[in-house]
Amino acid sequence: MLEKLELVNFRNLKNNTLTLKSGLNVFYGNNAQGKTNLLEAVYLLSSGKSFRAETDKELISWGHQEAKIAGTAPPLQIELEIKEGGKKLRVNRQAKRLIELIGEFLVVLFAPEDLLIVTGPPNLRRGWLNSFISKIDKNYLFNLAKFTKLLKIRNSLLAQKALGRGLELGVWNKQLVELGILLWFSRRDYLGKINEQLKTLSPKLGAELIYLDSITQIKLTDQREAREDFEKKLAALEREEIRRAQSLIGPHRDDFKIIFEQKLDGKIVSKDVGIYGSRGEQRAAVLSLKLAETEIIEDSKGKKPTLLLDDVLSEFDREHREMIQKLLYRQQSLVTTTSLGFLEKKLLAKANIFYVERGACKAVVTAQGGGKGLSV
């Protein structure tokens, strides 16, 4: 859990020190005041990366040379210094590489753009799954990094072969198969876990049963059979791969569908939410994925991640909002909104509330005594 957050010259948040609680922390304020910037800073403490900036420079307040984010998430004290030339990380006062941050202080983010996980192209679904598994499983993270490097080399070899040059592919194919099988089977296992979670979460979110249906190019029941199948398909595809200078089979070509199962005239019908879902159904599906992720992280790591919800509540109807809010207390949640009216009074009374205005976050005192400092 994140107990304390300090920001210096991070985007429009010039100088903020916040004390956060377990359960619900709400950040409310008008447009363009700094709410998403705040969640972005917390996300950076978790992954070393921004979920929206292209360059480090964007993160530094205009007219300044350096931004600082510091967070206390016991037993970790994480400090990130951001300069145009790059970031410097220190954990408990020791210099670390950014990749070492992954899996330490854990967050799950749901921003409006995440709707694309359901409606967008397959690489966004793979991206979500990869980042989720990497938070829990360091082997997966390293295998994925190796696989990505391997693909680059293999594709450039394919391009050379297309010109009649280049080495044999044998040794590269062997590595592709080995790493591919490892990634595929991890994904299969995690999709299974997600589906288990979705079964319990769907009714709580007032959704029909949601599940994920994996689409891979080979059958993933037995490792040995899968390996043989992969090798066979690779051999059959060689000429086409050389012609197109692309690796045409592997986990980088996976996808999964998000299915809603509902009763219609007494019959169970399945629909692909990405294609047939309403906007509300698509949002509920993404939220379900994020909550499932939260539960699975807790099961594997023994602690719940911090949930970051950026401006998500306003987009649901009242009934859904109420159901979602109840789930927000099960872990530390940082929620942004343009109006407190989107939150239930009963739940707000227990929340830690901040008012965000022109880059300053001020704790608000509620009638029940939640929050400290300034009353708004």
Check if the beta carbon of residue 101 is closer than 8 Å to that of residue 78.
Answer: yes
Rounded CA-CA distance 259/114 in Å is: 17
Please pick, from the candidates 54, 55, 62, 170, the single residue that binds ligand ATP as defined by CB under 6 A.
62
Rounded CA-CA distance 88/99 in Å is: 12
How many residues bind ligand ATP, per CB under 6 A? 16
Please pick, from the candidates 25, 36, 282, 288, the single residue that binds ligand ATP as defined by CB under 6 A.
36
37 touches ligand ATP (CB under 6 A): yes
33 touches ligand ATP (CB under 6 A): yes
Rounded CA-CA distance 11/67 in Å is: 8
Please pick, from the candidates 3, 12, 146, 195, the single residue that binds ligand ATP as defined by CB under 6 A.
12
Rounded CA-CA distance 158/147 in Å is: 16
Check if the beta carbon of residue 231 is closer than 8 Å to that of residue 246.
Answer: no
The interface partner of residue 103, options being ligand ATP, Mg ion, none and the CB cut-off 5 to 8 Å by kind, is: none
Q: Candidates 24-32, 162-170, 187-195, 364-372 — which segment interacts with ligand ATP by CB under 6 A?
A: 24-32
Site residues (CB under 6 A) for ligand ATP, limited to 296-335: 311
Check if the beta carbon of residue 142 is closer than 8 Å to that of residue 186.
Answer: no
Rounded CA-CA distance 211/189 in Å is: 14
Per-residue binding string, ligand ATP, 79-118, x by CB under 6 A, is: ----------------------------------------
Q: Candidates 55-63, 170-178, 202-210, 267-275 — which segment interacts with ligand ATP by CB under 6 A?
A: 55-63
Question: ∠326-328-332 over CA atoms, to 5°?
Answer: 145
Per-residue binding string, Mg ion, 19-38, x by CB under 5 A, is: ----------------xx--
The interface partner of residue 37, options being Mg ion, ligand ATP, none and the CB cut-off 5 to 8 Å by kind, is: ligand ATP
Please pick, from the candidates 32, 153, 269, 374, the single residue that binds ligand ATP as defined by CB under 6 A.
32
Q: Tell the residue number behind the tokens 């294609």, with chain if given.
A: 275
Closer by beta carbon to ligand ATP, 46 or else 61: 61
Pairing of strands 107-110, 306-310: parallel
User: DSSP assignment of 315-360, as one string?
Assistant: GS-HHHHHHHHHHHTTS-EEEEES-GGGS-HHHHTTSEEEEEETTE
Q: Which residues are annotated as a binding site for ATP?
A: 29-36
What does the binding site for Mg ion look like in residue numbers (CB under 5 A)? 35-36
What does the binding site for ligand ATP look like in residue numbers (CB under 6 A)? 11-12, 29, 31-37, 58, 60-62, 311, 338
